[in-house]
Structure 1
Amino acid sequence: MLSFEPLDTGLEVVDAVEGRRYVLDSSEPLSPEPADPDRFRFPVDSAVEVETSELRLVEPVEGFVREAAGDPVLQVSPGTRTDLPSATYSVELNAPVKLYLRVDGPLTVDATADLMTFRFDPPVLVGARSYHHHPAATVTTTDDPRDVFAAVSTLSSALKTTSPERSYPTLRGHPPLVERGDELRIPDELTAPETGVRIELPPTLRAAAVAAPLSYYLGAELVPGDDPRLVVDGDAHSLAGPPGFERNVERTLKRAFLLDCLVRTEGYYQVDLYEREQVASDVDLDFASLYDASLAERLDATLAVPFETLAPHVPRWPLVAHVDPTPEAVAVLPFVAYDLGVVRTEDARRASPDEVQSSVLDAYLGQRRGGAGDESEDDPPFVALGDADAVEQVWFGDGVPLDATKGIPAAFHNDLRRDVDPASIDITVVCNEYEMAPEQAVAETVYGSREQLPFDVTLRRDCSTDELRAILASSVDLLHYVGHVDDDGFRCRDGTLDAGTLDSTGVHAFLLNACRSYEQGVALVEAGAVGGVVTFSDVVDSGAVRVGRTLARLLNLGFPLRSALQLAAGESIVGGHYLVVGDGSVDVVQVEDGIPTLCDVETAGSEYDVTPVTYPSREAAVGTMAYPLVGSNEQHFLAPGELATFRLSEPELREYLSTHGSPVRKDGELVWDDPP
């Protein structure tokens, strides 16, 4: 649900489903009146008309101005100062809630690094579109692989276009859900696009799981066949042979996606894209012609380019999902496909105690370029996953994965059912351990420090079992628990509370900074939570405090759980004892600059090499463009991943950091403005 709330001087746009908000500032009170969304060139969910001659953005975002037909006029960036003649304009703003302004008349655009101003003749129309996508329907399938093929083939019904623009996350809708039943049932309203592409595979559950994200993105039907191959307008391309079926599917997805990202710069967003510039010199492709070509024609063109040529320019992939090819696993495929995750079924095995210790140590040392102890018979087995160049690896099988997210299918369904209160972001910090009070003190200072967001932070100390049970039953966006957990549950002043005894929980996300909190975290997800950070072994209090306070800072900046943990793990040798359970992409608050970004700074004599590193989020999934406001940069980059490296003087670096809310890693170590 989208709403427009008048302020004393401006208008607040609220997305109640996603818990996102954005303020359009004005010099006067505004009285929004409902307007027809169809008056906008691009789709909006809701619209209002306001009588004002100026709107300001005190948190500038990327913007584009277009003519009435959608043709680009200019990109709005710091330093833009333009007076446009009288016409009908559409102003697109990539804020936490997608915004559009419709202006009829002259338009003045004046943008600096910390203020963006639009002036026009009143009235102005303001339209908004939520980034949230719910599945449109549910498909039921039997365990027969041929029925599973038919179910997977419906995933692409959620695509909003088959043009190159589907590489933008906002034009890839959420696939329908898939559940098991006694017969195949596909709702009549689910219609997959006609693309001239099909994927022929041996009829197995493994083949269906591996091919699901590729089928979704290409609008390709899965059909039984003797050998795995991709058929494009009758021409067959083998998916067998080196480096193997799973890797060939992965390479095909990444190639098709990258080419769409390059070609789409011929369309509505004619920007200077760094990756296009790099690829253009290595390939013989007519991007303008390919933009108007069919999906099958573009796919043929990209398959003619060796993967090795394109691989260096593919954005860092958001997800590698390790899936057991069982009937139960079919239900997670729509969620993996929505993230364009790569599916693997072969790269997991039980880990030895030595490998567990090595993983813990690597998590600490790897960020800066004790051991986990012996595995008990009562502990769940540890699982070692293969290497993957991805932001997140998720394991959906039995056991505890090392350096990966423990995927729990219930988490994704919990997220679809959650009820967000847009009035505030509710964070509860519970400290049941005196020795870890410094972490609570930091959390008290950090959470709620962003002035533009409505935080409600509650601090609780030395809770009883009844008090903690009441907290877990309440609606909380983030529970940050500091204390001890033993075999019986959360340790409280009068005993222990086992989360496994809860019928339900209102907690959305959680950080259980306690020894061996894994089982309690899993129980919270199964009771209704979406995801959280837990430990799989004992952690030293001092190290846990360092990790906990870093996680608090990163979550407060809008980093998702998994990305926040990756960065925080390097703060202490105990960082490798932590993992995410549930959905690793869950966040607590919106990102100030739209894309979670780490500013990586390396000292270079009297100057500094600055590399912005972007991470995926709900609003900034793979395919989003980043436009770093650093130095003299005038190029866009594909996110997520490392962008270009910029050489800055000390004054230039200070100016850059002063206008961004990003965390900073200087010479391999995270540094903060506020005291620890």
Structure 2
Amino acid sequence: MSGQSGVIYTSRDVEDVFRCLSTICTAGRLNSPQKSNPLYRRPPPLIRVSDVAFDKRAVERERFSFHLPPDYRFLYPAATLAYYLGASLEADGAAFIELGSGGRIVLPNFPEIELWMGDMLRRTFYLDCAVRYAVASGGALNGLDVRKALGRPAVDVFYMRPDERLLLYHDAGPNLDELPVWHMAAYLDPVPESVEALPYLLHSLSAIYSPRSSPMTERSLVSLSVNGFLGRQGVALPGVDKGERSVVVPSLMPARSQLWFSEGYPVDAVKATPRAFMNSQRYPRKKKVRVGIICNEADMSEEVDVVIEALSDAASAMQVFWGLDVSGFSRVFARGFDIIQLIGHCDERGFKCRDGFAKARDIEENNTPMFFFNSCSSHAEAAKLVDNGSACGVATFYRVLEEAAVDVCRNFYLMLGAGYPAYMAIDAARECSVLGKEYILIGDGSYCFGGDGLKPLYRISRHGEECTLSCTIGNVQKGYVVSTWSPEGKKMASDLGFETRFMSPEQLSAIAMKFKGFCIYNKSIYTSVREAAMKAAEDSRDDSHHCKRKRPRPGS
């Protein structure tokens, strides 16, 4: 997130934090559906918690306001919707939204208010996108007829006040099941210090929830990973020793990207910190990158070749370092590589080097935005390197098998080199590995090589003899309109994602050339939708032939 306008300071007092966030929420003057266009959303100022009380004179009471108990469990989930609509936040004894017309929307209690705010954020933003597109082009976004859904012409809705639109969307509109899954969910501890993460989450329109999790053992994680890969149900979580409580299984809400700001290292989520987002702003996004590879174990050299091959088109230069000592290991991170791949061993002592063990906290100068620590139990060291200046990095929870490590590495760099953001690259690599849940991304998952990650990733799913094609787009700042195709022709869709209706593999193959981007099918990554569609059609024919061969003869 670039272009922030200054820093706002607040004390730890909950009413001070209310006033601070209310000022940010009401600072913008654009509150029409045009705000759903990311080009019209400027990043809010940074927030710092200090001993200085927030200036009460800066707060103006708005007629459109969210009234909430003075409790962070209510404030944080409501902040994003209030920010998007330009409503003020008021500490009150009851939970309700005061509308400019004098009416009210009564809000549920905790924890139901989290779901209510997340659902209304998703509904409001998506319908604003549909209204904006209908007014600009006369078309229907994702086939949504605004007049039919809301009972009013799109132009009338466009010129409504934000509180009027909220009430209309609350009472009308499509079923939530018909809307795309929300792009981002964040999990914040309900404490004053968590407010420092809000500028990043408000700008990306993240839904916010209180964290809930269970501890995870190494054995349970392996079982969970294997069962997830095979499509089985999860495993029961046994009790764990105190020393293993750093790895947790979070309770996650439906979202494309999951950001965990709480304690512990989460399975299936990004371990995020405000510092990582600040670090990310230090580094330019380059299309051609410099790659450093550290290999301290000669018997793991296959992985070196994998990285070189996967990044051959994206790299301007690559350098391999073999068998480094501790001091040499630390110096590599000061050399300005855009990404460093570490291949070797790691434990609680640090990374194994020729003459001892190197720790991330001892690296004096770190100019490396991204890294991949493909070594056992490297998550704690990875977190320290992000604290020490990196934007993000991939690491492991426990021990990893060499074959699985190579597969995850290959797929991650294949995606990253093609322009996908880090969170999409590691999610795809994990999805296509039997031990994918052993890996975690730490830091700013939106970091990518060049651009803003506005690149589609497709998935083909087979349902008997028919297929569906779904699409996820990696950009964090949502609101763009993208083109897609169906057997009936071209249509426009939201960058929140979309899914085609059921079609035969042959129908999908016929239009596959229209889609530009990688595709996941049957736990494999393909560099084109056409290639994946051809494989799906081949599998469908094989299954049909197999069923015919097994069909009993009449009268037998």
TM-score (norm 2): 0.85
2:206 corresponds to 1:341: yes
**Residue 244 (structure 1) aligns with:** 112
Q: Find 1:527's aligned residue among 366, 388, 402.
A: 388
Distance 1:421 1:627, change over 3 A: closer
Tell me how large the CA RMSD over aligned residues is.
Answer: 3.3
Which stretch of structure 1 is more off in the superposition, 459-468 or 383-392? 459-468
Which stretch of structure 1 is more off in the superposition, 167-176 or 156-165? 156-165
Q: 2:77–2:117: 8 Å Cα contact kept in structure 1?
A: yes
**Residue 327 (structure 1) aligns with:** 192
**Residue 637 (structure 1) aligns with:** 493
**Residue 161 (structure 1) aligns with:** 30
**Residue 350 (structure 2) aligns with:** 489
May I ask how many residue pairs the two structures share in their alignment?
Answer: 528
**Residue 269 (structure 2) aligns with:** 404
SS in 2 for 1:586: coil
**Residue 106 (structure 1) aligns with:** none
Which stretch of structure 1 is more off in the superposition, 560-569 or 344-353? 344-353
Q: 1:663–1:672: 8 Å Cα contact kept in structure 2?
A: yes
Listed as ranges, the matches of 1:422-501 within 5 Å are 424-449=288-313, 455-501=316-362
Q: CA deviation at 1:283?
A: 4.3
Q: Supply the distance in 2 between the matched residues of 1:336 and 1:574 (Cα, whole angstroms).
A: 30
Q: Find 2:79's aligned residue among 202, 209, 212.
A: 212
Distance 1:319 1:466, change over 3 A: same
Q: 1:158–1:173: 8 Å Cα contact kept in structure 2?
A: no
2:460 corresponds to 1:600: yes
2:120 corresponds to 1:255: no
Q: Which amino acid aligns with 1:477?
A: D
**Residue 291 (structure 1) aligns with:** 158
User: Is the strand fraction higher in 1 or 2?
Assistant: 1
Q: Supply the distance in 1 between the matched residues of 2:62 and 2:499 (Cα, whole angstroms).
A: 33
SS in 2 for 1:580: strand
Fraction of identical pairs, as percent: 24
**Residue 230 (structure 1) aligns with:** 97
Q: CA deviation at 1:161?
A: 2.2
Distance 1:523 1:352, change over 3 A: closer
Q: Supply the distance in 2 between the matched residues of 1:401 and 1:564 (Cα, whole angstroms).
A: 17
SS in 1 for 2:430: helix
Q: CA deviation at 1:409?
A: 2.1
Q: 1:382–1:400: 8 Å Cα contact kept in structure 2?
A: yes
Distance 1:375 1:564, change over 3 A: farther
Listed as ranges, the matches of 1:510-525 within 5 Å are 510-525=371-386
Q: 2:371–2:394: 8 Å Cα contact kept in structure 1?
A: yes
SS in 2 for 1:635: strand
Q: Supply the distance in 2 between the matched residues of 1:332 and 1:487 (Cα, whole angstroms).
A: 29
Q: Find 1:170's aligned residue among 39, 42, 63.
A: 39
Q: 1:158–1:172: 8 Å Cα contact kept in structure 2?
A: no
**Residue 474 (structure 2) aligns with:** 616
User: Is the helix fraction higher in 1 or 2?
Assistant: 2
Q: Which amino acid aligns with 1:182?
A: D
**Residue 538 (structure 1) aligns with:** 399
Q: 1:547–1:568: 8 Å Cα contact kept in structure 2?
A: yes
1:390-443 Cα deviation digits (max 9, x unpaired): 012222121121221112221011123x14275842222333333332222122
Q: CA deviation at 1:289?
A: 0.9
**Residue 180 (structure 1) aligns with:** 49
Q: Supply the distance in 2 between the matched residues of 1:489 and 1:175 (Cα, whole angstroms).
A: 38
Q: Which amino acid aligns with 2:144?
A: R
1:592-645 Cα deviation digits (max 9, x unpaired): 9x323224264976xx73514213325xx3322221256553211112334324
Q: 2:306–2:409: 8 Å Cα contact kept in structure 1?
A: no
1:256-297 Cα deviation digits (max 9, x unpaired): 2122111112333544411523x6545423322111222222
Distance 1:186 1:558, change over 3 A: farther
Q: Supply the distance in 2 between the matched residues of 1:437 and 1:295 (Cα, whole angstroms).
A: 58
Listed as ranges, the matches of 1:62-73 within 5 Å are none
**Residue 101 (structure 1) aligns with:** none
Q: CA deviation at 1:195?
A: 7.1
Q: Supply the distance in 2 between the matched residues of 1:557 and 1:366 (Cα, whole angstroms).
A: 28
2:525 corresponds to 1:670: yes
Q: CA deviation at 1:186?
A: 5.6
Q: CA deviation at 1:652?
A: 7.1
**Residue 568 (structure 1) aligns with:** 429
Q: Supply the distance in 1 between the matched residues of 2:339 and 2:512 (Cα, whole angstroms).
A: 31
Q: Find 1:267's aligned residue among 135, 139, 148.
A: 135
Q: Supply the distance in 2 between the matched residues of 1:668 and 1:280 (Cα, whole angstroms).
A: 41
Q: Find 1:503's aligned residue among 364, 379, 392.
A: 364
Q: Supply the distance in 2 between the matched residues of 1:295 and 1:352 (Cα, whole angstroms).
A: 48
Which stretch of structure 1 is more off in the superposition, 466-475 or 640-649? 640-649
Q: 2:458–2:520: 8 Å Cα contact kept in structure 1?
A: yes
TM-score (norm 1): 0.71
Q: Which amino acid aligns with 1:589?
A: G
Q: Find 1:628's aligned residue among 484, 496, 513.
A: 484
1:120-171 Cα deviation digits (max 9, x unpaired): xxxxxxxxxxxx6321121111111111001111333564721101112222
Q: CA deviation at 1:380?
A: 4.4
Q: Which amino acid aligns with 1:598?
A: Y
2:457 corresponds to 1:588: no
Q: CA deviation at 1:549?
A: 0.6
Q: 1:428–1:476: 8 Å Cα contact kept in structure 2?
A: yes
Q: Supply the distance in 1 between the matched residues of 2:482 and 2:332 (Cα, whole angstroms).
A: 39
Q: Which amino acid aligns with 1:364?
A: F
Q: Find 1:552's aligned residue among 398, 413, 417.
A: 413
Distance 1:591 1:556, change over 3 A: farther
Q: 1:246–1:343: 8 Å Cα contact kept in structure 2?
A: yes
Q: Which runs of 5+ in 2 are unaligned?
A: 532-556
Q: 1:513–1:535: 8 Å Cα contact kept in structure 2?
A: yes
Distance 1:557 1:422, change over 3 A: closer
SS in 1 for 2:333: helix
Q: CA deviation at 1:355?
A: 5.2
Distance 1:157 1:422, change over 3 A: farther
Q: Supply the distance in 2 between the matched residues of 1:145 and 1:172 (Cα, whole angstroms).
A: 27
SS in 2 for 1:573: coil
Q: Supply the distance in 1 between the matched residues of 2:153 and 2:510 (Cα, whole angstroms).
A: 42
Q: Supply the distance in 2 between the matched residues of 1:523 and 1:516 (Cα, whole angstroms).
A: 13
Q: Supply the distance in 1 between the matched residues of 2:227 and 2:96 (Cα, whole angstroms).
A: 39
Listed as ranges, the matches of 1:1-40 within 5 Å are none
